[in-house]
Amino acid sequence: MRGQVAVRDVLGHTGHEDAEEPSFSALNDQLDSLWTRYLDLLDQYTKAQASIKKHMSSGFFSLAQANSKSAGLGRRYGQDYYDDRTSATTKVQIIADEDGSLPQARIVKVAQKAVEEDFEIVEKTELVSPEEPSAKDEASSEVRITSLPTPEATPEPDSHPTEPVNSETSTATPKLITNDPIRWFGILVPPPLRQAQTSFTSAVLGDDAFAQASNAARGMRDVEVDIRKLRKTIKKAEKSQGPQAEGVMG
């Protein structure tokens, strides 16, 4: 950013009418330095875009392979299966320095942690107890018993009677949820789909190409503004000095 700072110093107004005007050679040097800076940023932007394009092309090719292999299963991998409840695994962080330089973008990968959720299932049921026979039923049962032969001695009931069933609350096993988006399509996904995920991830995180392209684009816009300002300054200087300026610039 040295070229930008130097140009701003040249273009800055001191507020004094008798301030010394920069020479044409100094203005031309500043313009050359701005163009050099602009071409450097353009080279960074072009290389970053080429890296992103390479990974994106590979990702879409792998995605097409996964869809062709799953055609017989009646499903297609695409945005129809996106889960709206998902959270971002990669974020962009903008960092601004205190010296007033251009803010820089940085890619931050969110740590994928397994989230434990307790699903509490509450089922309210009434106490289950044996029905008490009525007096009429007891009388009829006595009549039936007298007509039957004497049965053998029945064993004594267990000293620990069965308690009534009471299921007030039951807690399910904690469920582990991962943030991996590929799990939207099941556990056993085809290898081409995993390769597509790797390629798309590399387009964003690989070699910081995404951040470099963003920073280079912002830098070029800032340099373009300085170039336009410097050109206006040169034209004003040419008009003020007339033929002498034309001879120097020629």
Q: What is the pLDDT of residue 89?
A: 75
CA 138 to mean position of chain CA atoms = 74
On the CB side of 101, CA atoms within 13 Å amount to 14
CA–CA dist 171, 181 (Å, integer) = 28
Residues 6+ apart with CB under 8 A from 58: 195, 199
CA–CA dist 102, 16 (Å, integer) = 29
Q: What is the pLDDT of residue 13?
A: 45
What angle do the packed helices 24-69 and 209-241 form, to 10 degrees? 150
Q: What is the pLDDT of residue 60?
A: 92
Strands (E), 83-235: 90-95, 104-109, 115-117, 120-122, 169-171, 175-177
The burial of 213, by beta-carbon neighbours within 10 Å (0-12 exposed, 13-18 middle, 19 or more buried), is given as: buried
CA–CA dist 121, 125 (Å, integer) = 13
pLDDT tens digits in sequence order for the chain, 250 residues long: 444 444 445 454 444 444 455 677 888 889 999 999 999 999 999 999 999 999 999 999 999 998 888 766 667 777 666 666 667 777 777 777 666 566 777 777 776 554 444 434 334 444 444 455 555 555 555 444 444 455 555 555 555 555 554 544 445 555 555 667 787 777 888 899 999 989 988 888 777 788 889 889 999 999 999 999 999 998 888 887 765 545 544 4
Q: What is the pLDDT of residue 95?
A: 78
Closest CA relative to residue 27, chosen from 238, 247, 175, 233: 233
Using alpha carbons only, give the angle 131, 135, 136 rounded to the nearest 5 degrees. 105
* Dihedral sign (CA 59, 64, 69, 71): positive
CB 107 within 8 Å of CB 205: yes
Q: What is the pLDDT of residue 121?
A: 38
What predicted TM-score, i.e. pTM, was given to this entire model? 0.56
Beta bridge partners of 94: 105
Q: What is the pLDDT of residue 220?
A: 95
Q: What is the pLDDT of residue 35?
A: 94
Q: What is the pLDDT of residue 226?
A: 94
